[in-house]
Structure 1
Amino acid sequence: MNTSFFQILKAKKELIPLVGIVSCAAIGALAFSAYSLFSKSDVIINKSGNPEPWETVDPTKPQKDSTEMVINIADFQEAFKKIQPSSFRSAIGLTECKPVTWEQIGGLEDVKLKLKQKNIDRDF
């Protein structure tokens, strides 16, 4: 049992493509892991070169005031004049339902036949 890896590959040549593919996959996974560790912000190792946003705030400088932008009921009333929510349209019956003929319904021939036999001649 003192055979080397290369002696096994010489004896079983059908394993050579498998070893090549697995090696390439392992090298790719290792390269992507290293790339992620050094450049992706959610798994970065170098925290000093990429600080969190709250770490760059200067407490001596005034920050933006959150009262600059306020949404009130007048804004909603103005938007309601231009756009009606879909839930409101369906509540007052403004939804659009175009009539569909039997020829427009594809497939389900057995179901269509049973509905026609039950005297349901409506268009859906």
Structure 2
Amino acid sequence: MKTVVDSSALPADAYSAKCPTRQVLDHIAGKWTILVVDALLQGTMRYTDLSRRIEGVSQKMLTQTLRSLEADGFVTRTVHPTIPPRVEYDLTTLGRSLAEPITALRQWTETHINEIEQARTRIIAEAQTH
């Protein structure tokens, strides 16, 4: 008889290749995910509002990001039966729990971007002199 292991009983370990936290980390660490969640912290938004707010995101990437966030339980998608249909996105309670770390990460990058750019410039300059 084959033994079935209940993976929910196992402790989460992001360093383990078999742990499902790896996939979740991949989803929430993406730049589009961070920006979508951060934008939705302001409240419910339509797709076009999100695409305007997040400059540079392609239609394909925004759609993929929203679908992934919905599949992971971070975002709800509500379709209103109007003509044309009106679709709205909002954070779930689980999605709102990402607010503090995601906002902190965005703010950290905004605070330290000049230092990062200086380091990049220095490394490029050093590489060109060697």
Does TM-score exceed 0.5, indicating one fold?
A: no
Structure label with greater radius of gyration? 1
More strand by share: 2
Q: Please, what TM-score do these two structures have when normalized by structure 2?
A: 0.22
Q: Please, what TM-score do these two structures have when normalized by structure 1?
A: 0.23
